[in-house]
Each structure stands twice: as structure tokens, then as C-alpha cells.
Amino acid sequence: MTRPGFVLDVDERTPPLLVHEGEGFRLQRFPLGTQVVYPPDPLPGIRDVPGAIREALLHPQGSEPLPELLHPGMRLTIAFDDISLPLPPMVQPDIRQRVIEQVLEMAARKGVEDVKIVVANSLHRRMTPSEIKRAVGERVFRSFWPGDLSNHDAEDPNGLTHVGVTDRGEDVEISRRAAESDLLVYVNINLVAMDGGHKSVPVGLGSYRSLKHHHNVHTMLNSRSYMDPPSSALHGSAARMGRLLADHLKVFTVETTLNGETFPSRFGFLNKREWEWSVKDQAMFLAAKRANDRAPSGIRREIFRRIEAPYGVTGVNAGETEAVHERTLENLHRQQVVEVNGQADVLVVGLPYICPYNVNSIMNPILVQCLGLGYFFNLYRGKPLVRPGGPMILFHPVPWEFHQVHHPSYVDFFDEVLAETTDPSALEAKYEQQYATDPWYVHLYRNSYAYHGVHPFYMWYWGAHAMDYLGDVIFVGADRKAVSRMGFRTASTFADAMEMASETVGGSPRTTYFHAPPIMLADVR
């Protein structure tokens, strides 16, 4: 029995607490009475993962067993989640590799020869060959790359099919190969509650024409939160699209969930509660922090990039999308949900070095905003962790840095669009279409390793709910210029940030520190 997550009240005996701040971490003292939300301990992983996968494929939910769906002469397409999952990348073999290998073994036994494997990268950057090889394993990669294993191209005029329009007028356009297959097997990793379900196929294999119906400010403002699918307009839209697709295409979904083993043993202290640190953990913290603080930024980034999570697999479910996703969410909640009583006046978070869009890349200011106001703020069920109009304090240096290959449109978005307005609705109306259809961004998306031109807009919309809800956003220890470009404020120290927050909430606010990662989902009562 693993320990559930819990809420700690900071008292005199509470040691300084670990706070992530980008490619670094610090120990921070919190005011007495601060509530600290800790994630549950990692659940034990399944011991026989291949057996669990086989069981899921042979006894699926709401569908015939996979071997019965396979026959000679059919067209089989396998799509899988891209580099944005899991975070950090998991120790090999990746769970996607294990699932895909078993699907292919069954297909081979049934004499299926026409097989294509597609990275469901949507409008994300293409995965490099080495990244794909890492995800699917050497056997699959050498068998299928490059002819039958490729990235999805959401801008290929000949590679897309308009499947139809939902009853709310939403266009459903996905990969032609997937749409024309006899069977589409989707292999997912459900790291957070937002992932998976009907969001997998219509989004992962969709196009801008399709995505714009739910990746917009209006939908995001009505997704409260998008980490809680029943309360999320984003998921409502994706579900309508998914159901329409299910009428045209047989989809066999395989969803997997992981436990909370986010950091390898050498960074074991990052997985532990501070008062349980051994002498070795303390020594490791000191050594890691000292070395990290002194290392040049390039080396520091490289060290963090090489972190591989020793995740255990907590569940594998397969079959009909909705039946599968229900079980997946149960599994996920078993690992991640923490009950929290009441909302705080001030919410404090430490942002780590990685988010879904900067794997093997740089976390630029827009992605910092997305991670903080998008992901972390929305990791709740019921009500946000902070009361309406309350301030949010975030730890991150927010360097004014961009990856020129991966994020070219982000550079222009930051320099041109945010310089004019930070209002999501205003910039959506004025600039989105221009960026989404810019031929140079389209060219880079299709031929280089660039995120789509419209992607920085989506990242900004991701934080729209938080921007609308919060009274103030304060970054501690950040680049003042970069933060002010985004319309937020900067404090040198946490004490200064609390001082600034007191303008909104008074001198003795009820403060909550959300102690993540590992990822958790606050169930606020």
C-alpha cells in the first residue's frame, strides 16, 4: 500500500522545502501555516508488463479481441503519441515500443502486410529519426523506417481527408492513410488527465482546419479545467469529433498509465518528502545544486536533457475509445488525485525544466507561461487551488531564449504579437490566421523540425483561463524584461513576491504551495 498524497501545514519543525525553478532547484522556507500539497507516493508498477499488454489486446473493452480484427489483405495503421509524452522521457524500453511490438506480432501472425506507423504529432514538430527510434525501439524502427514509419503531416494537401462535420459544425479532418485504413490502432501514454480518449485521434492526426474548433480562447475559457474532461469544453469538442470518426473508421485504442517515478535514483531526493531525506539525499542535493549552479547553461541543459524517468506501468487498457478511457482515468486518478480542502488566497508553484513542448529543446518564455498558467494552474478538479482574483507566484528564471529550429514562430510571436497585446482574444482575432497560414512557417513545419506557426497562439490560449481568473502573476528570480513582455510581474525573492501579493490579498494570506513534480491532480473541495 503506497502512501496517498496529503496536505502539510508548515510549522516550526518543517524544514525548507524543495522548489523547482527551471534547470535548477532551491530550498525555500515558507511562512508558518502554508499548506503544502504533496503528491501520492508512486504506485507499484505492473511486474509482467508484456503479460498485461497481451491481456489487454486479447480481452479488450467494448471491442473484439485485436487478433479478430486482423486479416490478410487489410490496411492497418498504427499511430502513437509523440515526443511530448511522457515527461521526462522514460527509460527504455518505452511503453509505446512494447505495445506496438505486440500489435505487430499479432498482425504478422495473421498475415497482415500493409502496415503504416504514424507519429501522431499533430501541429507539434516532427520527431527526429533518433527520437522515433527511441520511442518505438530498434526492431520496429529498422523494420519500418523510413518508408512505412513517418511523422504525421498536417499540412500535406494530399495526405489529409475531410471526414465530415459534427452537429456543432466542427470540421473533422485527419490523416488520409488513417481515415482509409481498415483498422487504426492508437497507442497512447496517459500522463495527465487531459491526454487520451477522443483527444488522441482527432487531435493527434488532425489538421489546423480541425483543431481550430477547440484550440481557441472561447473553448479554453470554458474548460474548467481541461485536466478534468467532464468539465472541459475542449474534451467535449474532441469527443464529438471522435464519435463522428468512429462512424467512419474502426479505432482500437490502447491506453497506458504510468506511476509517479519521475526521477532516477541519482536524483532520488526530488521524489522524496524533505523531512525524509537521508544523509545521502542531503549530500546529493548539495552536490547537485552546487554543481548545477556553477555549470555553464549548455552543460546544465544537457544534464537535465539526459534525465530518464524510471516510470513503472500502472495500467494497460485496450478496445473502444470511451470504455478504455474511463478505465484509464480511474488508474490515473489512483496515482495522482490529492484531496485539498478549500481554496487558498495565494498559489505558489515551482516550474520544472521540462514541459511537453521543449523535449530536447529550450523552454522559452511562452512555454514557461504555458507550463505555469496552463498546465500547473489547471491541475485541479472541482475548483482551482486559488480563489478567484488571487495571485499566483511561480519560480522560474524565464530566460529570454528560444530554440531557433524548433520554435521559429515563437520568436516572432514574442517580438511582434506580445509587444502589441497580451489579451488572448485580441491576438487570436488579429494574428492567428496570419501565423497559421504563413508559407514559411508551413515550410519549416513540414520540412524542418519546427512547431507549426499557430502553435505559440495555442500555448497562449492554454493560459487564458488562468489569466482570466487570477488577480496577479508574479515570477520569482526571473528575467524582468521577458516577464514584463508577457504582462506579468517579477520579484527578486519569495519574500518580495509575498509582499507584492499582499497588495491583493492582505498581510496574512492563506497560501498553498503545490509541490510538483511528480504530477498530481488536486481535488479541491
Partner 1 sequence: MGSLAEDVRELARGWRWTRRPLTPESAEPWAPPVEPRTFPTNWARTPPARAAREAILRYAFRPLVWTETDPNVEGLDHLRDLSPPVMFVANHSSHVDTPLVLCSLPKQWRERTAVAAAADYFFDVWWRAATTALVFNTFPIERAGGKHATSTARRLVEEGWNLLVFPEGTRSRDGWMGRFRHGASRLCLEYRMPVVPIALRGTFAAMPRGRSWPVPGRVPISVRFGPPVLPEPGEEFRSLTPRIQAALSRVWEEDRTTWWESLHRERRGEIRPPTGPAGPRWLRVWEATRPPPRRRPPRIWRG
Point out which residues bind partner 1 (CB under 8 A): 48-50, 92-93, 97, 104-105, 108-109, 111, 113, 115, 137-140, 142-144
Our CB check for partner 1 shows the closer of 98 and 235 to be 98
Of 137 and 196, the one with the shorter C-beta distance to partner 1 is: 137
What nine digits make up the cell of 210? 480541425
Which residues are CB-neighbours of 389 under 8 A, at least 6 positions away? 469, 470, 471, 504
Q: Which of 173, 149, 171 is nearest to 159 (CA)?
A: 173
In this complex, which beta carbon is closest to partner 1, that of residue 104 or of residue 521?
A: 104
CB 394 within 8 A of CB 476: yes
Closest CA to 33 of 9, 59, 60, 57: 9
Q: Which residue number, 261 or 523, has a Cβ lying nearer to partner 1? A: 261
Q: 519 in helix, strand or coil?
A: coil
If the CB atoms of residues 45 and 471 are measured against partner 1, the closer one turns out to be 45
Which grid coordinates belong to 234? Answer: 475542449
- Least distance CB 89 / partner 1 (angstroms): 15
HSE toward the beta carbon, residue 113, CA cutoff 13 A = 3
CB-wise, 92 or 493, nearer to partner 1? Answer: 92
Distance of closest approach, residue 187 Cβ to partner 1, in angstroms = 16
Is-contact 160 173, C-beta < 8 A? yes
Helices (H), 342-463: 365-369, 377-378, 408-412, 418-420, 424-437, 439-447, 455-462
Give yes or no for a cis peptide into 15 (omega within 30° of 0): no
* 451: nearest Cα among 466, 468, 463, 438: 438
Closest contact distance (angstroms) between CB of 113 and partner 1 is: 7
Q: Which residue, 133 or 250, is less far from partner 1 as judged by CB?
A: 133
Find, among 152, 250, 168, 129, the residue nearest to 208 by Cα: 152
Query: Cα(295)–Cα(167) distance, rounded to whole angstroms?
Result: 56
- Nearest approach in angstroms of CB 200 to partner 1 is 24
Nearer of residues 137 and 517 to partner 1, judged by Cβ: 137
Length of the chain: 525
Smallest separation (angstroms) from partner 1 to the CB of 145: 10
Question: What DSSP designation does 442 have?
Answer: H
- In whole angstroms, the minimum distance from the beta carbon of 114 to partner 1 comes to 12
| Interacting residues of 153 by C-beta distance below 8 A, sequence separation 6+ | 159, 446
What residues are paired with 18 via a beta bridge?
27
The least CB distance from residue 183 to partner 1, in Å, is: 17
Cβ at position 58, least distance to partner 1 in Å: 18
- Residue 140 or residue 398: which is nearer to partner 1 going by CB? 140
Q: How far is the CB of 93 from partner 1 (least distance, A)?
A: 4
